[in-house]
Amino acid sequence: MHEVSYRACFKPQLPGFFIERLTEPGDTVYDPFSGRGTTALQAALMGRRPVANDVNPLSAMLLAPRLAPPALTALRDRLDEIPSAAPPDPNEPELDAFYHPDTLNRLRALRAWLLGRTPLDPADGWIRMVALNRLTGHSPGFFSVYTLPPNQATSVVAQRKINAARGQTPPPRDVAGIILKKTKSLLSDGLPPPHPPALLMTGAASATPLLADASVDLLVTSPPFLNVVDYEGDNWLCCWFAGIDPATIRISIHGGIPAWERFVRASFEEFARVVRPNGFIGFEVGEVRGGKVLLERNVVAAIAGLPFEVLGVMVNQQEFTKTANCWGVGNNAKGTNTNRIVLIRRR
């Protein structure tokens, strides 16, 4: 159920480690920088109340359907209802570098169908979630010709260069068949168990008025790391499909340590309100600039004077870094090879 790609996502074992040790069934587990929703989904799978927030509306689109999946028969029936072609949107980007004309027609029809249905029912929401995850990739399991991994959509210009270098043209893809195949894979471990109702928010982590005071038992998250990830650029194709204007999404990207520390402090000022006394925070800051910058030290500096106690820093060495391997980089040679988690208790 976790196998939905998103830029800079961590593995579910990380939140699972803390959820198992620091919460009980029914407790509230929160991720203020939710991304693909790893922490919240893992919380639901373990019978906790999932709460998630992200400034990017794509986050809730990727998470909500997996918390309450529809029946496979409902998905098949819905896919049969969707037209097979639709005219191009006048504002549509150049997409012929990625898709065969027949595939692109089907994607246009699917996009138009989803954008025309408000609100989406569970079948529509699930189909959109899977389609967002299958837009581009490097195997026949994606709608596109061979391109970058699905968490990083390359530009049209760059894709044309890839096509020329590989001597490739986009092949036709079975859009409905790919969606159903990915659905079966996501559901292969069964449905999530019963869990308390989820709360999914879209906005800045420093302002979450929908979340009650002292309501969070455990917060596990990973904030944006300096300026090492271009979230807006990587998600441009997903934003097109979902009808989102990327320019309206203010994802925090900080090039310098002082600005990043101010961002972290503003977030922790809100965390001080929503995390209950004696609740815990696992704040994962990964590995930045080849390990030359240890952001855990900046986290400690940023929260000085707030009602938190730093219990320590846990360093998890990842045995296999899959994304690095996709790029042709030797395992543990570059990229994020360690998870560095600042463990904090709310006083």
Give pLDDT, residue 159. 96
pLDDT tens, position by position, 1-44: 999 988 778 889 999 999 999 999 999 999 999 999 999 999 99
Provide the 3-class DSSP secondary structure of residue 288.
strand
Instruction: Please check whether residue 307 is in contact with residue 346, taking contact to mean a CB–CB distance below 8 angstroms.
Output: yes
Write out the DSSP string of 112-156.
HHHHT-SS--HHHHHHHHHHHHTSSBSSTTSSSSB-S-TTSPPPH
Residue 36: partners with Cβ closer than 8 Å, 6 or more residues away: 2, 4, 5, 6, 9, 59, 62, 63
Closest CA to 169 of 136, 144, 151, 134: 144
pLDDT of res. 109: 97
| pLDDT score of 151 | 74
Q: At what angle do helices 13-22 and 38-45 cross, to 10 degrees?
A: 50
What single-letter amino acid sits at 292?
Answer: K
Smallest CA-to-CA distance from 185 within 50, 27, 5, 324 is with 5
According to DSSP, the residues that pair with 199 across neighbouring strands are: 51
Angle between helix 58-67 and 122-133 (nearest 10): 120
Which ranges of the chain have pLDDT less than 70? 227-232, 250-255, 287-291, 318-337
Domains of the chain are 13-66+197-234+250-346 (3.40.50.150), 72-186 (no CATH)
| Burial class for 72, CB neighbours closer than 10 Å (0-12, 13-18, 19+) | middle
pLDDT at residue number 294: 84
